[in-house]
Amino acid sequence: MRRLKIVVASALAFSSGLAFAADITVASHVANIPFEFEDQNGKVVGYEVDIINEVAKQLGKTIEYTSMPFHMLFPAVQSGRADIAIGTVTITSKRLESVAFSQPWIDSEQCLTVATNAGIEGLEGLGGKPLAVQTGTVGEIWATNNQEQYKFSDIRRYDGNVDALLDVAAGRVSGLVHDCPMDAYYIKDKPQYKIVARIPTNEQFAAMFSKDSKLIAAFNEQITKLKEKGEIDRIHKKWFGESAGAESSVVKTMPIPKLTASVE
């Protein structure tokens, strides 16, 4: 795991010239374009990073990002090693048993991405072939629950989508079931790939916290303010090239998810 210091601080902290420990530690899956990744200068950037940084600015807090595989985000917040985790983490009722979430800030579903020359035109084309997923994700859950129906030969698990997509292009796996926004962004200038199916999982991504987090209320209040000012929609347009719809969780203020909510 790598620790990546990001300076998002009050003017006082900058002017003091003194070394300081970050106020908020963020565990992140920094191989997750365009949500969180390192640019050519090694700076952590992306849709979710921009939101976190805006919240930190409003709270007058400093941030330290720690990079780790997706499945390690959960023990990071549960153990207190991180205050927040981001990595396109889907809110689910099962996860709400052990962690907490802020209100969501983008909607998603799963997509099947295949090699353009593979001859696969939909989920039915997976029969007898290996399928790639990212470990610990809704895509993995979907694949496990639907292997009998679509008859793919086995499920191959990866720490991130990039290695999985490289294997898709090489023909080592038939396709990748993964978050639509991320994969659509990744393949937009890569004609060797195409999305051939959308799986309506009705997902929403948010920041993840420990169950007893004392930060979540203040953090969520700032998310509401950013939505009301149109700032999160502005960030969405920056990364995805268009504004979100009025009913999207990018725009619409929502409550903090509770275990009793119908979030699947």
Among residues 203, 200, 176, which one has the least CA distance to residue 190?
176
Domain boundaries, given as residue ranges, for the chain: 2-107+203-240, 109-202
The CATH fold assigned to 2-107+203-240 is: D-Maltodextrin-Binding Protein; domain 2 (3.40.190)
Spell out a b/e string for 62-101, using b for 16 or more CB atoms within 10 Å of the CB, else e.
Answer: bbbbbbbbbbbbbebbbeeebbbbbbbbbbbeebbeebbb
Q: What is the pLDDT of residues 215-244, one digit of tens each?
A: 999 999 999 999 999 999 999 999 988 889
The mean per-residue pLDDT over the stretch 198-221 comes to: 96
Fold identical between 2-107+203-240 and 109-202?
yes
Q: Tell me: the pLDDT tens digits for 101-139? A: 999 999 999 999 999 999 999 999 999 999 999 999 999
117 burial (CB, 10 Å; 0-12 / 13-18 / 19+) is exposed
Task: Give the H or E element holding residue 224.
Answer: helix 216-228
| Cis bond before residue 69 (omega within 30° of 0) | no
In this structure, which CATH number among 2.60.40.60, 3.20.20.70, 3.30.70.580, 3.40.190.10 belongs to the domain 109-202?
A: 3.40.190.10
Residues 49-58, mean pLDDT to the nearest whole number: 97
